Structure formats: structure tokens, C-alpha cells
Structure 1
Amino acid sequence: MQRDIEVKWRPPLWLVIACTIVAMLMLPVLALFVLSRLLGVFDFDTSFQIASAGTIAAATIVGWVLWRILLRPITELAGRADDIKTGEAAALAPLDHYGTSEMQALGRAMREMGQVLQDRETVLRSYADHVTHELKSPLTVIQGATELLADPDLPESDRQKMLLNVSDATDHMKKLLDAQRALARAKDPMASGSCRLSDVIDQSDDIVLVRDGMVPLSIDVFEPVATQLIGNARAHGASRIEVALEGDRLTFSDNGPGISSGNKDRIFDPFFTTRRDNGGTGMGLSIVKRMLEAQGASIELADAKKAKFVISF
């Protein structure tokens, strides 16, 4: 368990500002008093009035500036942090005024942290809803099969069919749980490194390596990414898959039916799949996207008709 911040009294920022202003007010007056008494060269009353007026004016300006550049942004950022904690969508809106570049950097860091937390919560909530829905079907199959298998008069052929249904339902539940673990791991950075494209992708009857080279990803990251993209192409009927490295861009394209206009904006969404009847979970491309982002890379669909994916490093 992490140690919490020690609870002890600490002066609030407004008190620090107030003490600074009081010090600014007192020091000139004190210095004027000492000089007038030691040297006797000042008319103390007149000098005191002038010094007091000037000091009060300067202290007012300094206090307003300190409030605007320090106290106000900090107070607003603290409020935004509370809003992020409660899930308020408006919490990610930028402040009207940050005061200093350091406050702006702090605000930007808080917004990025809040966005990550909200995205993670959205994914987890979406996944929980999806899994709850998806598990109903296999659980219903298992429950129904269990009731039928309890019948001693059930024909052997029907018994084997029920056992096969239970096995299929169990496999589907396992896929969902494996996808959950993979999604959780995908956001964590892995060891950096590089690998040669041809060491991961072997040319075969349906894979053409157009241009070889070094990929700035470790083999532990790149191999599952390439496997997923090639597997998707094959699953959708592609008979030729081209892979090419061009500078800091790696492309995968195929001669399959492509991706429809209605689906191209959703393919990286978790749980979106057109192969649900064949056991698809809709997690593959979402996991690929998260793995690449964790390494500072990105992936996009450059051409839906050719199912051309571009990975940028």
C-alpha cells in the first residue's frame, strides 16, 4: 500500500501572498522610520504619507498579479481535479487563464491524465456491458445442455451433440476472457527494440514482402501486430497480402473485398466485428492499436477498398 501524504499544517497560498504583501507594506515604512531617526534628513510625516501611498499601490498591484497568475489557476485546477474524480465531462475543458507556463504545463498534464482515465473507464464499462451480453448466450447453452444431459433416456447422438455445444460455448467464453487480458496488457509499454521485417513475416503463396527493412519495434510487439493484420486479411477472403516498409511507414494491403464505408470508421472500436457468428470478439484491431500507441506508433486505415493499413513510427 502506498504511503499517503502526511497530514500536517501547511500555509495556504492565499496566506503566503498576504504575508508577502504585508512585508512589502512594512519594510519601506520601517526603513523610512530608521533613516529619519538616525539621519534626521526627512520630514517624517510627509515622507511617511508618500511612502505609505506608494507602498499600498504597489502592494495592491502585486497582490492582484499574484492572485491572477498563481492562486486563481491553482484553485481552478483543484476544482477540475474534483470534477475529473466524479466523471464530469466538462472537467477536460481548458482553463480560461493559466497564469504561467508552468501552470499551463500542469493543466495540460491534468487534462491528458483525465482523458486517459475517462477513456479507460469508457472501455471498461463498454467491455463489461459487452461481456455481460456475450456471456448470456454460452451460459444459456451450457444451462440447457446440462438439463438435457441429466436425462438418462437421452439418445447418445443427442448427448454427443450437447457435449459439443458445451465445448463450443466454453471456447467462446475463453476467447472473451483472453481478449480482456490482452486488452489490459496492450496499454502497457513493452521493451523497446527493433527487428527485421523478413524475420517476422515469411513469404508464402499469399504473402508478398514488397520491401524489407528494420522495423523500430521489438519482435514481442511486432509479431502479434503482424499476425493479427494478416489473419484478418485471410479470414475475409484475401488471397494476396502485400507488406512493404517505406521509411517510417509500414503498409499492409490485400486483394480481399475491402472494408465497407459503413464499417471503416468503426474497425478500431473495441468489440466491433463482422464475424461474430464465426467466433470473432471484435478485439483484435483494438488491441493492435493500443499496443502500437503504447510504443509511440500509430495505425490507420489508408484505403478501405484495398484494406490498406499504414503503421507510422
Structure 2
Amino acid sequence: MRSVLKRIFSSASLRRVLLVRVALPVLLILAVILSAGQALVSNFIEQRMQRDLQLVARAVYLPVSQALERNDLEQMQSSMAALFGMTEVYGAYLFDAEGQPLISFGVVNPTQRQAEDALQKTLAGEFEQYEQIRGRDVYSFFMPMFDEVGQPNGLLQVTRRHRDIDQQLLRLAYGSWGGFALVSLMILFILVWTHQRAIGGPLNRILASIRRVEAGEHEHRADVYGPTEIRQLALGLNGMLDAIQQAEAREEEQRLAREVIAERLRQTETLAALGQLSAGVAHELGAPLSVVDGRASRLQRRLESPQDLRELEMIRQQAARMTSIIQQLLSYGRSSRARPRQLDLEALLLRAQALIAGEGYKIELQSGPSAMLSGDSLSLEQALINLLRNACQACPQGPVRMAWSVDEAIHLTIEDAGPGIDVAIRNQVFDPFVTTKTPGEGSGLGLAIVKRIVEEHGGRIRIGDSELGGACFELTFPLAKTQENNHV
């Protein structure tokens, strides 16, 4: 039975479950209470109607008793007629001590046998009973009559139709059960109405929100209002959707991160292969390029035609360019193996300034506080020369400025007045073979080598805008251990 009910309620709506499991038991309890109350009220009404008839009989008892004692028939008839004229009375009967009827008012009269039985019962005093008088169901109240010496000399019987009592009780039942039905309908209506407003409506809105999310509106969230349980349900749904969205976002971030890692791994593998290739290329092409450059130099000394000399010079320039590219490939694919040592920052910058001046470029060096860093001087000089050369090539007329400051770390800036670097490609210029120069003017390895060297020394590099109008490269290096301890 329980499994059957479970299957029934599992497919029923919340409203039906509410009506069956809440409203129906409440109404059944109210019906039981009404039935018990109706029984009490019916008993009270029945006793009241019987008491009314008894009061009527007692009201005429004294005049009838006195008339019977005087044998005043006219007075007896008058009193009995007044008694019968009352609406509560169905019949009024007066019997003598032998059970013979003296006066009778009513549709039917009791039999002699009934009168004699009643006389016997009145020996113990007045009494009442339900009985049938010639097929009519009545309620009878009997009062014995006594003479002056206390001897019974008659009997007064007053009756009321049993149907009157039944009709009164039936009207009470119809009224009470009709009122119960009306109240039950009102309760059901109020229950359904309040369910729709307080529970059904908010639940339907939450269901609509779930369907919208299911249809693809992943940003939609349910409105949080209504009873506490409904609000908690809406908050739980919204929290679940937020958690799913965050999980999807994390999954997307992880996917992008995996793609980036895979791309970096591919680039690393490519660069590793490139390093191995460049080492072989250096051995294979270094000697032929030297031979080409040497032969072209000898031909320049032997030939006199200006056209031939220009072509030979172009050959030597391209050979030198190929040699430079090979050296950059070797430099990018090879990490510094020199043992780090303490370097004076100002001396390092002065050497870089002197070396770039040998190429015909002028650098403005602004002095700063004394600072020491740990690293390989040749690698750091190469990184500085690459940055200074790029700055000078970006603005051949100058100015190019180099300065530094010291706090918890060393901050070195190289600025120029050139066209600058577009923000959209600032994160790409440090990748190998990416260059802003025109084809044939750069290999795209200079800044990649700079970034590798800076990161090998525990630093970082950033591109910004210069006050001079061009690009500003900011290099940050940690202080050497000795100087760092002095700062602390």
C-alpha cells in the first residue's frame, strides 16, 4: 500500500499533494470535531425540547389538580384546552385513578392498557418516555394527581411528536454540515490561492529560470524573493549556476594555459632544435663565408673597375650579415656558462657606452647611485649593446639616454626619441624572429637574446613610453648579496 501511495504522489503536483496530505487530514479532523459537537448539541436540544414540554405540563398541573379534586369538569376542560393550545403540545390527556379518560385533546388517544401501565409507573413519581400511540411516535411526560390525603386520584399526560424533535435535529445537522461544506470550500480555495501566490508562483518562476538557462542563457539568474525556503532554493540555484560558470571559466583558463604551455613547449623544442642546427650551421657555413669574404677582399685589391668593386663590396656586406645572423643564432641558443661574479653597475654601463660609441652611436649616460650586481659581464654587455643599438637605429639623430636608480633592486632604463613600439605588439617583440624593422634590416633575435640574458640574471624587462617621445626599456635586476645585506 505504501509503495502504491509513493508511486501516486511521486507523479502528483505539489498542489495535489498539499490538498491530499494537508487539507484532507485537516478537514477530516474538523469533520470528526463537528460530528462530536453536533452529537452534544443534538442531545442538548432534545433535552431542552423535553424540558419545555415538562414546564408546560407543570404550569397547568395545579389548576388541573384543584379542578379534579373539586370534580369541576368545566375548569378541567378549560385548563386542558389551554394546555393543548400551546405549540409544543401534540396531545393532552387526563385520566382518573382507574385509568379511565376524563378529558382528551389530541389527534389520537392512548389506549386503556397504556393508561393503566402509566398509572402503575407514576406510583414512583412523574416520568417520561418515548412511545407509540396508535402508530404515532411521541414523547410523553406523565404527572400523577393526588387528593388531599395524598392518595393518587388521577394522571396527567402531555405528549409531543417525536417528529418535531427529529426535524429540529435534522435542521441542525443540515445547517452544521452545510456550513462545514462552505467552510471547507473556503479553506480549499484559500489554500489553493495562497499556494499559488506563496509557493506555486515562485516555484514556477524558478522553473522558468532553469528552462532559460537550459536554453542557453547561462548568464541568467533566478529572482530571490518569496518565503525563506523559496529564497534559499533560488540562492542555491544561483550559487550552483555561478559555481558551474566559474568551473567552466577555470576549465577555459586551464585549456588556454595548456595551449600556451604546449605552444611554449613547441617553441622550446623548436629553439632547441634551432640551437643544435645553428651550431652545425656555424661549423658548416663559417669556413665557406670566411673564404667568400677573403676572396672578395683579394679581388677588390686586384680589380680597378668601380662597378666590380661595388659588387664585391656588396658581397662582403652580405657575407658579414650572414656571419652576424649565425652568431646571433649561436648566442640565442647558448646560455652563459661563465661563473657569476660581482659587477660594478656604473663600470658595466660605461663599457657598453664605449663599445656602442665604436659603432658611431652617441649615448647620454646619467649617473646614479653606486650599485653592485651579480652576473656575467660579457652577457650583460651583449644585452645592453643590443638595446642601445636598437634605440640608436630607431632615432639616428638622437637623443638616446641611459640611467639607473636603486631601492630594493636595480632599475635601469634605456630611452629614445624614436617612433616607439605599438602597445599591441609589446608582448610579442621579445619572441624570436619578431621585429619591427623592415625586412632585411633585422633578424628578430636581438630582443629575444636580451630577454634571455636578463631572466638568466634573475631580472625582468618591460617596455613603456619614454618622456623623450619614443620607447623606454626598463630592466630590473636584484642587488648583489653583499649590497643587499648592506641595505638591510
TM-score (norm 2): 0.33
Between Structure 1 and Structure 2, the one with more strand by share is 2
Query: Higher Cα Rg: structure 1 or 2?
Result: 2
